[in-house]
Amino acid sequence: MSRLQDLLDAKKAQQEQEVPEVQEQEVPEVQEQEVPRAWIKTLVTKAAEQEMRDEIADQPAAVLEAAAVLLGPEADADVEADAEPDLETPIAIVDKVLAADELERQTHDLLGNSPNIDVPTISSSAVQVTVSFSQCAFRRFDKDESERVTTANGAVRKAASVHKALLPNCKELQAIKDFVSATRTAHYSMTLPWCDQGPRLLPTANLPVFHKHITEIQDKFNSLCEEFYVVYAWEKVQAEADLGTSKGLFDADAYPSLEEVKKKFRMSVAYMPVPERGSFITDLQADALELANDHYDEFYHRATVSAMDEVWKKLFVPLQNMSQRLDYSTRAQNTKFRDTLVSNVVDIVSLLKVFNVTNDPHLEACRVKLEEAMYGVTPDALRNDDIFRAQTKRSVDAVLKTLPSLDM
């Protein structure tokens, strides 16, 4: 017995066993579609799943009978299961449907092909995260030197402000400062703005990666601090020579003890849920509670818009740069772009799914389009292949045209 016949028998048996309630639920769904299109689509799907395309061509009558069984009595008016059509009819129908589907896929508008997704709340798709650093800058305002500079230059009082570096040549201290700066940059790249100068928004999908990364950063920060503590006593001696003692800038009282210095260097990470409306206030009168909730709604909306604007900006900058750098027709006009031109775009495209905390269908459509456009793209291919470079630029420009207008 053929696989198509097995499918037909199985469907008949299933319909015989189905209770009336189930049939009543399924009939309206079938009736919503145009019957001929519906049974063709159903048949094509089943054929593809069972890999029965050759069998369809060999058994045209079975094809029509299967279509009638799959859709039930509703197909009788348009499909005569007992008819003996030409041998080419079923396979021609299948080819026609598949060709139409392919054409439809290729001509869909970028946004028209977006998935219809239920939008989650920020509370369910992200958490708040705060990364804080405490460090001693070893810089101090020098009042006497400030007055001396203003007087020497004939300027008014407070026209100049002199700050002196207490450890001007300490490599270990500079290493800590550079590391903190790099960490803040990395933190901003992995999160989105939320509260002004406060917690940032971290997509829950990226939480395991972020936590692993930030834990390694904490270990490195502590290691750099320990290296500084070891040389601190010597650096104070060296600072005395660097700053000068006789009418110089050195002041021994400006240097805290090692115990005090250790208290000044700290790094902390804190995760907090994003509260929903009314979930954080319990003991208020009804009118006061409503007022507080309204204010929070306003903040929530403003913060969400700001977070998503940041995502669009993260996407716009590398795309615009790629479009500009690829804007030449021959290798003789090469703009000498770096390899990071490609990696910057690929990196942000890979992060878009994580950063899309509102499940914005526009952003997801852009991600899918760019993922397809950047597949197989390499810096050398862009440099050496004029046609490939022009094609890549057109794909990037097509996405750029769909991006929302932002203040960038």
Q: 267 and 318 in one domain?
A: no
Has residue 51 got a pLDDT over 70? no
In a domain, 406, yes or no: no
Strand stretches in 135-194, DSSP E: 139-141, 163-165
Q: Output the pLDDT for position 223.
A: 96
Q: Output the pLDDT for position 251.
A: 82
Do strands 139-141 and 266-273 pair parallel, antiparallel, or not at all (unpaired)? unpaired
Has residue 29 got a pLDDT over 60? no
Q: 325 and 195 in one domain?
A: no
Q: 265 and 311 in one domain?
A: no
Whether residue 86 contacts residue 64, with contact meaning beta carbons closer than 8 Å, is answered with no
Write out the DSSP string of 255-314: S--HHHHHHH-EEEEEEEE-PPTTSS--S--HHHHHHHHHHHHHHHHHHHHHHHHHHHHH
In a domain, 143, yes or no: no
Q: 256 and 131 in one domain?
A: yes
In a domain, 252, yes or no: yes
Secondary structure (3-state) at 318: helix
In a domain, 279, yes or no: no
Q: Output the pLDDT for position 262.
A: 93
Q: 260 and 314 in one domain?
A: no
Average pLDDT over residues 49-62: 50
- What is the overall mean pLDDT for the chain? 74
Radius of gyration of the chain (CA): 34
In a domain, 148, yes or no: no
In a domain, 156, yes or no: no
Q: 180 and 50 in one domain?
A: no
- What is the domain count for the chain? 3
Average pLDDT over residues 100-129: 56
Q: Output the pLDDT for position 227.
A: 95
Per-residue exposure over 224-244, b if at least 16 CB sit within 10 Å of its own CB, e if not: bbeebeeebeebbeebeebbe
Q: What is the DSSP letter of 239?
A: H
Whether residue 293 contacts residue 267, with contact meaning beta carbons closer than 8 Å, is answered with no
What percent of the chain has pLDDT above 90? 30
Has residue 370 got a pLDDT over 90? yes
Listed residues 273, 297, 317: the one ending a domain: 273
Which residues, 6+ apart, have CB-to-CB distance to 375 below 8 Å?
Answer: none
Listed residues 224, 248, 273: the one ending a domain: 273
Q: Output the pLDDT for position 301.
A: 82
* Selected residue with higher pLDDT from 363 and 297: 363
* Selected residue with higher pLDDT from 388 and 246: 388
Q: Output the pLDDT for position 149.
A: 81
Cβ count within 10 A of residue 55:
18
Q: Output the pLDDT for position 81.
A: 41
Average pLDDT over residues 351-363: 88
Whether residue 8 contacts residue 69, with contact meaning beta carbons closer than 8 Å, is answered with yes
Listed residues 230, 251, 273: the one ending a domain: 273
Residue 26: give the domain boundaries.
Answer: 3-107
* Selected residue with higher pLDDT from 280 and 75: 280
* Selected residue with higher pLDDT from 250 and 128: 128
Residue in this structure with the two tokens 């026609």, named with its chain if needed: 96
Secondary structure (3-state) at 166: coil
Using pLDDT thresholds of 50, 70 and 90, give the confidence band for residue 269: very high
Q: 261 and 197 in one domain?
A: yes
Q: Output the pLDDT for position 249.
A: 77
Using pLDDT thresholds of 50, 70 and 90, give the confidence band for residue 367: very high
Q: Output the pLDDT for position 45.
A: 53
Q: 75 and 129 in one domain?
A: no
Selection from 68-77, 261-270, 353-362 with the highest mean pLDDT: 261-270
In a domain, 163, yes or no: no
pLDDT digits (tens, 9 = 90+) for 302-350: 888 888 888 999 999 999 999 999 988 776 667 678 999 999 999 999 8
In a domain, 362, yes or no: yes
Q: Output the pLDDT for position 304.
A: 85
Instruction: Copy the structure tokens of residue 354.
Output: 């994580």
Q: 303 and 178 in one domain?
A: no
Average pLDDT over residues 65-88: 44
Has residue 408 got a pLDDT over 80? no
Has residue 35 got a pLDDT over 60? no
Q: Output the pLDDT for position 342.
A: 93
Can you tell me the distance from the alpha carbon of 89 to that of 61, in angstroms, rounded to the nearest whole number? 10
Q: 56 and 97 in one domain?
A: yes
Has residue 188 got a pLDDT over 80? yes
Q: 68 and 33 in one domain?
A: yes
Q: What residue type is 28 in one-letter code? A: P
Q: 131 and 267 in one domain?
A: yes
Can you tell me the distance from the alpha carbon of 305 to that of 268, in angstroms, rounded to the nearest whole number? 28
Whether residue 61 contacts residue 3, with contact meaning beta carbons closer than 8 Å, is answered with no
Strand stretches in 155-246, DSSP E: 163-165, 200-203
